[in-house]
Homo-oligomer: A and B are copies of this chain.
Amino acid sequence: MANDKKAVEAITPINEDFARWYTDVVIKAELVDYSSVKGCVILRPYGQAIWENIQRILDGMFKATGHENVAMPIFIPESLLQKEKDHVKGFAPEVAWVTHGGEEELQERLCVRPTSETLFCEHFSHIVHSYRDLPKLYNQWCSVVRWEKTTRPFLRSREFWWQEGHTIHETAEEAVEETERMLDIYRTLAEDYLRIPVICGRKTDSEKFAGAEATYTIEAMMHDGRALQSGTSHYFGDGFPKAFDITFADRQNQLRHPFETSWGVSTRIIGAIIMTHGDDDGLILPPAIAPIQVVVVPVAQHKPGVLEAAADCARRLREAGYRVKVDDSDNSPGWKYAEYEMKGVPVRLEIGPRDMEKGQCVLVRRDDRSKTAVSLENLEKSVGETLDALGDNLYRRALENREKRTFSCANMAELEQAVEKELGFYKAMWCGDAQCEEMLKDKLDISSRCIPFQQEQLSDRCVCCGKPAKKLVYWGKAY
Chain A residues close to B by CB (< 8 Å): 4-5, 33, 35-37, 40-45, 48-49, 51-52, 68-77, 80, 93-103, 110, 112, 119, 122-123, 126-127, 130, 132, 138, 142-143, 145, 147, 158-159, 161
Partner of A71, one of B42, B80, B126, B132: B42
A4-B130, A159-B74, A159-B75 known; A123 and B45 CB under 8 Å?
A: no
Residues of B within 8 A of A99 (CB): 97-100
Residues of B within 8 A of A44 (CB): 70
Partner of A102, one of B5, B37, B77, B147: B147
Partner of A101, one of B36, B75, B147: B147
Are A123 and B69 in contact, CB atoms less than 8 angstroms apart? no
Partner of A100, one of B5, B71, B96: B96
Are B96 and A70 in contact, CB atoms less than 8 angstroms apart? no
Are B36 and A132 in contact, CB atoms less than 8 angstroms apart? no
* CA–CA, A99 and B112, complex, Å: 11
User: How many monomers of this chain does the complex have?
Assistant: 2
10 closest residue pairs by CB, A with B: A45-B68, A40-B73, A43-B71, A101-B147, A97-B100, A102-B147, A99-B99, A35-B73, A96-B98, A37-B75
CB distance from A9 to the nearest CB of B (A): 15
Nearest-neighbor residue (CB-CB) of A73 within chain B: B40
* CA–CA, A100 and B49, complex, Å: 33
A36-B77, A42-B123, A122-B35 known; A48 and B69 CB under 8 Å?
A: yes
Residues of B within 8 A of A93 (CB): 102-103
CB distance from A347 to the nearest CB of B (A): 22
* CA–CA, A68 and B74, complex, Å: 25
CB distance from A319 to the nearest CB of B (A): 17
Residues of B within 8 A of A122 (CB): 35-36
Are B73 and A37 in contact, CB atoms less than 8 angstroms apart? yes
Are A80 and B42 in contact, CB atoms less than 8 angstroms apart? no
* CA–CA, A45 and B112, complex, Å: 22
Are B101 and A98 in contact, CB atoms less than 8 angstroms apart? no
CB distance from A81 to the nearest CB of B (A): 11
Q: Could you list 28 A-B pairs, sorted by A, with CB under 8 Å? A: A4-B130, A5-B132, A35-B123, A36-B77, A37-B73, A37-B75, A37-B76, A40-B73, A40-B74, A42-B70, A42-B73, A43-B70, A43-B71, A45-B70, A48-B69, A48-B70, A49-B68, A49-B69, A74-B143, A74-B159, A75-B96, A93-B103, A95-B101, A96-B110, A97-B98, A97-B100, A98-B98, A99-B100
A35-B119, A102-B95 known; A74 and B112 CB under 8 Å?
A: yes
CB distance from A149 to the nearest CB of B (A): 9
A45-B68, A99-B100 known; A77 and B37 CB under 8 Å?
A: yes
Residues of B within 8 A of A127 (CB): 33
Are B96 and A101 in contact, CB atoms less than 8 angstroms apart? yes
Are B97 and A42 in contact, CB atoms less than 8 angstroms apart? no
* CA–CA, A293 and B144, complex, Å: 34
Nearest-neighbor residue (CB-CB) of A120 within chain B: B42
